[in-house]
Amino acid sequence: MMINKIYILLLLVGLFFGQEYDYSYQDVNPNSDLNGTFVGPSYFNDKITINYFGWESWGGWRQIFIQLCDLNDSGAWDSDKVQLIGIGIGAGSMSSWNVSAPWVQDFTMGVWNQFLDGTDMSRKKIVLVDSNLDRRFIGDYSGASITNSELNELYLQIQILIDEISTAIPGDINSDGLLNVVDVVSIVNLILAGAYNELADINDDNTLNVTDVISIINLILNN
């Protein structure tokens, strides 16, 4: 009986399987602690990621990333829960930037296409990805720096995602206050990505696997 129920729910997972916003590229910033490491949203486990899209060879686009790094280093957001990553296209060197956050290069612009819904979109954009690898916010900036009002909006969006992490219940991966097939999909996504999320670790063994999928299915069926 239980096997039949699990089978039905896993079929629903196949129907509702969602898109995850992730990548794994080598950090090429010589000043980053992660230089040489392949990083992306799933690398940082339970963290929210600030994904900044810009070209290395243009001053305005480069300057915004420098501004974001300065904000990150000064504690503008909780770095225990938020990670900044820059995504370029390999259009130049960044050896003289003197910034601390990871910078990766997407030569095929596949990540640009996915995260920004097309490679022809304007540059100088920020995409916030939550700990479930869902895209939650896109910020579009036209100036040489992010203005105070734009920063306030960015801070607000980041804090919303941090609050979701703080108040979520075990198994409620998307923090909507419900346990349902969407949460099962999210756990499966995390397992396939090789990522970890504390809320998804239903049995608290510090590993995500089919046992956690079965555990959340049991929680759903029992409620």
Q: What is the pLDDT of residues 149-197, one digit of tens each?
A: 999 999 999 999 998 876 667 788 877 778 888 889 888 888 888 888 8
Number of C-beta neighbours around residue 105 at 10 A: 17
* Alpha helix stretches (DSSP H) within 40-180: 59-73, 110-116, 148-167
Q: Mean pLDDT lowest for which of 41-55, 174-188, 206-220?
A: 174-188
Q: What share of the chain has pLDDT > 70, as a percent?
A: 87
Is the fold of 2-19+170-222 the same as that of 25-167? no
Reported as a pLDDT band with limits 50, 70 and 90, residue 61 is confident
Q: Please tell me the least confidently modeled range out of 72-76, 88-92, 127-131, 211-215.
A: 88-92
Q: How far apart are CA 150 and CA 44, in angstroms?
A: 25
Nearest Cα neighbor of 175 from 15, 46, 27 is 46
Confidence of residue 206 (pLDDT cuts 50, 70, 90): confident
Give the C-alpha distances (Å, rounded to integers) separating 11 from 14, 138, 196, 215: 5, 32, 23, 17
pLDDT in tens, 84-99: 999 999 887 777 788 9
**With bands split at pLDDT 50, 70 and 90, how would you rate the model's confidence at 57?**
confident
Q: Does residue 17 or residue 211 have the better pLDDT?
A: 211
Regarding predicted confidence, which is higher, 66 or 91?
66
- CATH H-level, domain 25-167: superfamily: Glutaredoxin (3.40.30.10)
pLDDT band at 15 (very low <50, low <70, confident <90, very high): very low
Domain boundaries, the chain: 2-19+170-222, 25-167
Residue for token digits 């510090």?
Answer: 206
Average pLDDT over residues 106-129: 86
Q: Which residues make beta-bridge pairs with 125? A: 53, 140
The fold for domain 2-19+170-222 equals: Type 1 dockerin domain (1.10.1330)
